[in-house]
Structure 1
Amino acid sequence: MSTVQRALAVGLGAALLQVLMVIAFAWPAADIAPRDLPLAVAGPQAGAVAGTLAAADPNAFEIITVTDAAAARTAITNREVYGAIVTGDGPPRMLVASGASPAVAQQLTRIGQQLSGVPVARAEDVVPADTDDPRGIAFGVMVLPLVMAGIAAGVLLTVVIPTVGGAVLGLVTFGVVGGLLSMTIVQGWLSVLPGPYPVLAAVAGLVSFAVAGSVAGLAAVFGRVGLGVAALTMLLIGNPLSAATSAPELLPQPWGAIGQLLPPGAAASLLRSVAFFDGAAAAAPLTVLAGWAVAALALFGIAALRGARTEVAAPAEDPLPVG
């Protein structure tokens, strides 16, 4: 292939990659809407409210009926629902949790205003977002650096460290130190994320380990192909489908659910659970991240075994004559 042909091929490939990135990042953001969003209704008119919501859009909400306002608040703090509509004693009242998703809280607030007939009616924020980040902008942006740094670390470990043991040591070091330092900045300096620092640092470290380990592990087994597939999966699929700035139920399905099976989406959900909900509903995203971390170690194990078998299978040199 001539230089001109290679240049044309590289330019075409880069243009196609750009198109994929525009689609991956812009499409989910342009199609934000509730899709089976868990929502509680309570009080004597709960059935009527549920019927009204279903008539407006039968696929928008997954309605859960609870007894009263106290039960609705419990469901919110347990992360079973994103909000609740409480009826009785006047117009319907809306309970929201901006800590779970400021975008969802805003949408539910508008719905509460429509139901109450009072345009300026305010919703009660049961689990508010951090006062220094009320719209969740910093939280949404925070997930991307964790993913990008993990990809970069995975690439560097692949290129610089020639041995599997050294790569694993570097991976563990990156996870521990990266988690501690990132949460020091996010929580200590920027003060945009509440919650226990050691737990948040452990979550950030697990995210870093899972992302970097997946990239380096696939590269160790499959070479450059594995490196490219892992990096593009985390960047083009995992990050835009993470729902860090919205919620999985606001994204087109099944992509919202798929995003929660990748490290970026699981990271966003786990950080929210730890920071705002005392660990409620943390089991699922923690399992996802732990699964990716274990898979990364398994890939390194495969690479190590394959290297050992190669050494065993290599023909031994003829011994030098003694005399």
Structure 2
Amino acid sequence: MNVIQRAVALGLGAALLQALMLIAFAWPATNIAPRDLPIAVAGPQAAMVEARLTGQSPGAFDLTVVPDEAAAREAIGDREVYGAIVTGGGAPRMLVASGAAPAVAQQLTQIGQQMSGAPAAQVEDVVPADPDDPRGAGFGAMALPLVMAGIAGGVLLTLLVPTAAGRVVGAITFGIAGGLLSMVVTQLWLSIVPGDYLQLSMVAGLVSFAVAGTVTGLATVVGRAGIGIAALTMLLIGNPFSAATSAPELLPQPWGTVGQLLPPGAAASLIRSVAFFDGAGARGPVLVLLAWAALALVLLGVGVTRDSRRTESAAAAEPAPVPVSA
């Protein structure tokens, strides 16, 4: 392949990548709709509301009938549902949680207006978003920098640190420092998320290590092609399907579920749990991030073993020193 042929091939490859990125980022955003969205229904007219919602929007909601308003509030606080419709004593009232997903809270508010028949329906935000970021725009914008920084950190470690052991140290250092600094910016300065600073820093640090460690770990085991594999996985699949600006149940399936199995989606869910729900619903995202961090350590461990064997082989191949007679 001559220079011109190579240039044409690279241009076509870049155009294909551009098209894939447009699909990955634009397609989910243009197909936002509830799909088995968990909400609760309480009160004496719960069965009627359940039948109405099921008939009007089949497959849109995963409805759970709870005994009363207190149970509905508890379900929201435990992240079992995104909101609740409470009946009895007049027009139905809607309980929402913009801290879980402002986009869902907005949709549920519209449903409450339709059911009450009044433009100003009774809606209570049980778990509100941060007052400095009420629409969640800042929270949604936080996901991409975390992923991009993790990828960049992994690439730099791969290119500039020659040993796997050094890459392990670098990835751990990046995770600790990145977690602390990212929360200085997003929480203490921009006030995007409330909650405990150290807990949120640990979450951000785990995300940073998982992404950077996976990038450099794959590169260590399979070569520089591993950088592309990891970066494309995190960017083309992980970020657009992270549901950082919406909710997994609003995305096309199974991609909404797949996104929660990758670091960007797990990170968004875990930060919401820690910041707004006192850790409720954190178990799944924590396990996902720990699994990715463990994968990174395994891959880097393979690299450390390889480096050790190469060092031993090089030492064994050196000729033995010849004694010098007096």
User: What TM-score range do you get, normalising by the shorter chain?
Assistant: over 0.9
Q: Distance in 2 between matches of 1:142 and 1:317?
A: 52
Q: Distance in 1 between matches of 2:293 and 2:309?
A: 25
Aligned to 2:319: 318
* Partner deviation per Cα, 1:95-120 (whole Å, 9 max, x = no partner): 00000000000000001111111122
- Structure 1 residues 77-96: aligned runs within 5 Å: 77-96=77-96
Report the CA distance between 1:316 and its aligned residue.
1.4
Q: Distance in 1 between matches of 2:244 and 2:43?
A: 32
Report the CA distance between 1:257 and its aligned residue.
0.4
Over the residues paired in the alignment, what is the CA RMSD in angstroms? Answer: 1.1
Report the CA distance between 1:321 and its aligned residue.
4.2
- AA paired with 1:107? Q
Q: Which runs of 5+ in 1 are unaligned?
A: none
Aligned to 2:33: 33
Report the CA distance between 1:313 and its aligned residue.
4.7
Q: Distance in 2 between matches of 1:122 and 1:68?
A: 17
Q: Distance in 1 between matches of 2:269 and 2:248?
A: 9
| Corresponding residue SS for 1:62 | strand
Matched, 1:74 2:78: no
Report the CA distance between 1:122 and its aligned residue.
4.1
Q: Which runs of 5+ in 2 are unaligned?
A: none
Q: Distance in 1 between matches of 2:185 and 2:118?
A: 42
Q: Distance in 2 between matches of 1:228 and 1:181?
A: 27
Which 10-residue stretch deviates more, 263-272 or 119-128?
Answer: 119-128
- Structure 1 residues 282-301: aligned runs within 5 Å: 282-301=282-301
- AA paired with 2:53? L
- Structure 1 residues 111-130: aligned runs within 5 Å: 111-130=111-130
Aligned to 1:240: 240
Q: Distance in 1 between matches of 2:220 and 2:195?
A: 36
* Partner deviation per Cα, 1:141-160 (whole Å, 9 max, x = no partner): 01110000000000000000
Report the CA distance between 1:222 and its aligned residue.
0.5
TM, length-normalised to structure 2: 0.97
Q: Distance in 1 between matches of 2:247 and 2:6?
A: 42
| Corresponding residue SS for 1:44 | coil
Report the CA distance between 1:185 and its aligned residue.
1.0
Report the CA distance between 1:312 and its aligned residue.
4.1
Report the CA distance between 1:191 and its aligned residue.
1.2
| Corresponding residue SS for 2:47 | helix
Aligned to 2:215: 215
Aligned to 1:261: 261
- Structure 1 residues 136-285: aligned runs within 5 Å: 136-285=136-285
Contact 2:193 2:275 in 1 (8 A): yes
- AA paired with 2:134? P
Contact 2:163 2:307 in 1 (8 A): no
| Corresponding residue SS for 2:81 | coil
* Partner deviation per Cα, 1:62-99 (whole Å, 9 max, x = no partner): 11110111110010011000000001001111100000
Matched, 1:59 2:67: no
Report the CA distance between 1:308 and its aligned residue.
2.6
Q: What's the % identity of the aligned pairs?
A: 67
Q: Distance in 2 between matches of 1:322 and 1:194?
A: 71
- AA paired with 1:199? Q
Q: Distance in 1 between matches of 2:167 and 2:252?
A: 37
Q: Distance in 1 between matches of 2:102 and 2:248?
A: 13
Q: Distance in 2 between matches of 1:257 and 1:20?
A: 20
Q: Distance in 2 between matches of 1:205 and 1:319?
A: 48
Report the CA distance between 1:309 and its aligned residue.
3.0
| Corresponding residue SS for 1:94 | strand
Report the CA distance between 1:174 and its aligned residue.
0.7
Q: Distance in 1 between matches of 2:227 and 2:201?
A: 27
- AA paired with 1:170? G
Report the CA distance between 1:317 and its aligned residue.
3.3
Q: Distance in 1 between matches of 2:134 and 2:319?
A: 72
Report the CA distance between 1:58 and its aligned residue.
1.8
- AA paired with 2:285? P
